[in-house]
Amino acid sequence: MADSLRTLIDNWNIGANRWLRSVCYDRVPVFKEISTFLLSALWHGFYFGYYFCAVSLIIMFLAAKKLRRNVRPYFLQSTRRKAFYDWLTWLGTHLTLDYMMVAFAFVHLKPSLKFYSSLYFCGHIMVILVNLILPNKAVKKTEANVNENDTQSEKSRKNGQVQHENEEIGRASCRERV
């Protein structure tokens, strides 16, 4: 059961995914996802629904990446929160995908627009808002901005990690000299 659009796409049609990855995604220097979705639409045919679905999935994919980067860290503090987040992303992924795939199923312009307008394009509007509001990169907590709420053991663990990394660097430089 896929809990993200990435997982769902990676497991949808594995043979086609490999082909799209090797022919398009790995070769295109910029806009990799956009190019791959549009090539997939072209591969399916010349109906409006395929392209509308591809464009919808592009904006959904970009929004899903932003949501994961910006929201997921708040749910990693406990296994209960993480389980809730996993369930929420599973539900959100499948509901949004069902909504976006309607154009693919209808194929033609008129029934697709009739369906989406009956829902006031709410799915598209929400996904566009996520893309506009959330930053591309999540704000990272730096060593200089250690939170006052961190427990002493968390601070010790962080200091231990830095010390361990420094020891590894020291060993590597000793091996280079030998």
* Range 109-114, long-range pairs (CB < 8 A, 24+ positions): 109/48, 109/49, 109/52, 112/48, 112/49, 112/52
Contact 104, 55 (CB under 8 A): no
Query: Which residues participate in catalysis according to the annotation?
Result: 13, 44
Question: What radius of gyration do the chain's Cα atoms show?
Answer: 22
Q: How many angstroms separate the CA atoms of 149 and 80, rounded?
A: 21
36's CB contacts (< 8 A; 6+ apart) are 20, 21, 24, 25, 28
Give whole-number Cα distances, 122 to 52, 61, 93, in Å. Answer: 15, 16, 15
Cα–Cα distances (Å) from 80 to 9, 75, 83, 90, in that order, read 27, 9, 5, 15
